Every structure is written in C-alpha cells, then in structure tokens.
Structure 1
C-alpha cells in the first residue's frame, strides 16, 4: 500500500471513532481570507493583532508546511489528513509537519469560531447549551474550566472543548500546535472532535494584553461564534 492510500485508509479508520469537524474538510495549502474585517472583533481583539496573526503567523505555517512536504517528497496536501495520522509519516519529517499542519488546521478553525460581538447568540443555546450545563453544571462553570485550561497551559498552546468518541463534552488543552485529533500524539483520553478552541500563544494577544492572558481569555468570550460552535456540536453527535 502506498503512503497516500495508507493515509486515506488510516484517516477513515480514525474518523470511525472521531468525527472530523465539518468546517475543516479538504484543508489544502491555501489560506482563506478572514470571514470578517480585521477590526471587526474590536475592542476585544485589536485589528493589528488580527492582521499579523492571520497574515503573518498563519500564512507562515502554510508556507513551512509546503516546504516540509516537498523536502519529504510527500504529495499529500490535505493538512487535516496529515495531522490525524502523523505517525505514519517519515520520522524525520514528523516534527515540521506536526507543527505546521497543526498550525494551519487550528487557525483555520479559530477564525470561524469568532465573530463580531453581538452578531449572533451571546452564549450556547439549544442542545449545545443543554449539554454544557449538564456536563459542567452551568455556563459560568464551563467558562471557568475552559478559562483555567487556557490560563494554566504552560507556554504556548490551545484550550479546547471537544466531543469525545462516546459523544460527551470535555475541556482539554494541548501544547504548541497540537490538537485533539492527533492520534498517537495526544493522550487517548483527550482525543475527540474540537468544536471550540482558543489560541493562547502570545502572538494571539500580547500586543493588547501583554502578559495578562486571563484578561485576554475573559474578553475573548465576547467574540465567540456560538452559532458555529453549535453547528460543530450537532455534526459531532450526528444530529
């Protein structure tokens, strides 16, 4: 079996137990524009941060991923399939592909998980709201657990709300550009479908919040795109 067929087969096996987010299909080596103007998230996230974060950091992950794939003579360019089966790739190429494919995938989701304040639901509603309250007791308790995951993540990384393979909600976090779809890298108990994620790398907030990561997290709740999160939750549970 060639590498391309192996990746397809392994990904199909993985998605039998993990639901791939519907907003992430076919993530090739191109970058979509932001779904809103860079200043649209102000005052919570400033325009300069968004411009640099999207135009420099995210773009650099895509460029470096392309370079890593070329160096390894890998023709596969679907970043999502690459991250779900990194351990099948040549060992020498895994670090660069893991970091840069992860960066591309995570940021592609991240932009969609945000929207201008007041443009949609102000909190989780419907089945998503019910599931969050059932799992975490209340919306406020969920925000505290999620916020703690982001605040206590040492160094750079992400906080996540995932749907586990048994359909339950869970908050977790990962270092660097790892995410909960990375089987063989993330611990089994923390694997699942990401339906909300928060970038806590310093480049996501330092211009406005400096070292005050908790202030950034508190402000970020104002721009969460709950409609998109609900859509991801519905897809993950198959309803």
Structure 2
C-alpha cells in the first residue's frame, strides 16, 4: 500500500485501513451531531420546505434574511419542540392542534411547548402567507371593507399595529371565533391566536387569515430599526390567494 511517496509495509496495511475506518466514523458522528436537521424518521416535527426560493421575494424580503429565518430560526423551534416533547405522546398531534391544548401538556414542559410549538406553528403559517404578485379575492376584500371601510384603511391600521408591538411578536388578521367578522390582533413572542385568550391575551382569539412576524430576525438585515418599512413591504409579497382560502375555511 502506498500514500504519496511513502510505502506502508504489507503487514501494517490492516492498521492503516482500520484507522481510515475509525476516522470516517468519527467524521460522520461529528457531522451528524452538528447538523441542524435529523431524518424525518427520528423527528416528530420537521422543518417544512419553502414553496419558493429564498430570493423569490426580493427586493422586499431579502434572500439572506429568508434563508437564515427559515433554515436556522425555524429549525431551532422544530428541534427544541421535539426535545421538549420527548417521552410524551403529544407529538402525534399536528402542531396547530398541539398549541390549542397547552393545558394538557405537563407543567414542566408547557412553557417550552408554548414558545417552540408556537414558533413552529406561526412560521409554518408565515411561509405559506408569502408569495409575490397575487391578487386579493373579491370575497375577502369585501369582508375587509365591511370592517375597515377600505382595503387601504385596513392596510394602514395593520401596519400601525405591527409597528407598535412592543418587543417581539406578531400582527394578525383573524376571523372572529363565531365567524362574524374580521379583526386585527397582536400577540407577544410566539403566541398565536389559536392558543386562545387565556394564553395569548384578551381579544386575541380567532382563526388567522394573515400574519406578520415582527421579531427583529425577520427584518433587521434589510430594514434595520425601520419596522414600519418592513410592515409596508408585506403587501408586496402577501399571498392573498392563500388568505382567501383560509378566510373561506374559517
């Protein structure tokens, strides 16, 4: 056996081969332990793929932010949720159902599931909530105008509410639980209207139709401290078609 200009005696060839095998195993273990994803077979919840490329929303939502937001921040919520639920049978629930049943989560795991389950649910919603060049369906626009008078007035109010969330959180357009009307609500951190008012706060319950992530990780690389500019850019990439589907199903 030869390596470069050195010859390994035949009797020692097995030692070199064995060392190569051990090194390969060590490298594989290191790569696996440092990888942010695991196989679907070993994970209860997994990171959903984006239905578009990272640069599809340029120049309004930049590629670098989208890639970091999806592949790192969302992945962390998924990993942390799986860790929190290890040893329970709660991971058999769809994440949107899971966060409506926080009272059934063991008390020592409840905060982690609220934060990371909320993060996974909210972001899974958010990615579908985005798509360039869509047109608002007539029925959804009519419902918005019935509540806010005009589409423009709704957008201005939504931007205002998004810009004034203190710290980190979300702005939402939701359909009232009784299906009677629409309203704008905000939640803190990774809380969701699906969690109900007892968790997310008074007046927050409803079925999400639109949602905007106003954590700094969602916009700071491009917009810095100008959250209102980010909120205004949302209308350039909002998936009105998906919102219309959610509106009709709510």
- Indicate the residue corresponding to 2:77 in structure 1: 61
Residues 28-83 of structure 1, C-alpha deviations (whole Å, 9 max, x = no match): 5012211000000000000000000000000100000000011xx21222322220
Give me the whole-angstrom Cα distance separating, in 2, the residues matched to 1:32 and 1:163.
25
Q: CA deviation at 1:189?
A: 2.8
2:203 partner SS: helix
Give me the whole-angstrom Cα distance separating, in 2, the residues matched to 1:30 and 1:209.
29
Give me the whole-angstrom Cα distance separating, in 2, the residues matched to 1:138 and 1:75.
47
Q: CA deviation at 1:159?
A: 0.1
Give me the whole-angstrom Cα distance separating, in 1, the residues matched to 2:103 and 2:89.
17
Structure 2: unaligned runs, 5 residues or longer: 1-43
- Indicate the residue corresponding to 1:100 in structure 2: 116
- Indicate the residue corresponding to 2:184 in structure 1: 171
- Indicate the residue corresponding to 1:33 in structure 2: 49
Give me the whole-angstrom Cα distance separating, in 1, the residues matched to 2:160 and 2:178.
24
Q: TM-score, normalised by structure 1?
A: 0.82
Give me the whole-angstrom Cα distance separating, in 2, the residues matched to 1:201 and 1:87.
26
Give me the whole-angstrom Cα distance separating, in 1, the residues matched to 2:120 and 2:206.
18
2:160 corresponds to which of 148, 157, 167: 148
Residues 99-146 of structure 1, C-alpha deviations (whole Å, 9 max, x = no match): 000000000010011012x2x21xx33110000001001111101111
CA contact (8 A) 2:185 2:203 kept: no
Q: CA deviation at 1:188?
A: 5.0
Structure 1: unaligned runs, 5 residues or longer: 1-27
2:98 partner SS: helix
Q: Does 1:161 align with 2:173?
A: yes
Give me the whole-angstrom Cα distance separating, in 2, the residues matched to 1:187 and 1:59.
26
Q: Does 1:180 align with 2:214?
A: no
Give me the whole-angstrom Cα distance separating, in 1, the residues matched to 2:221 and 2:200.
30
Give me the whole-angstrom Cα distance separating, in 2, the residues matched to 1:33 and 1:176.
23
Q: CA deviation at 1:182?
A: 0.4
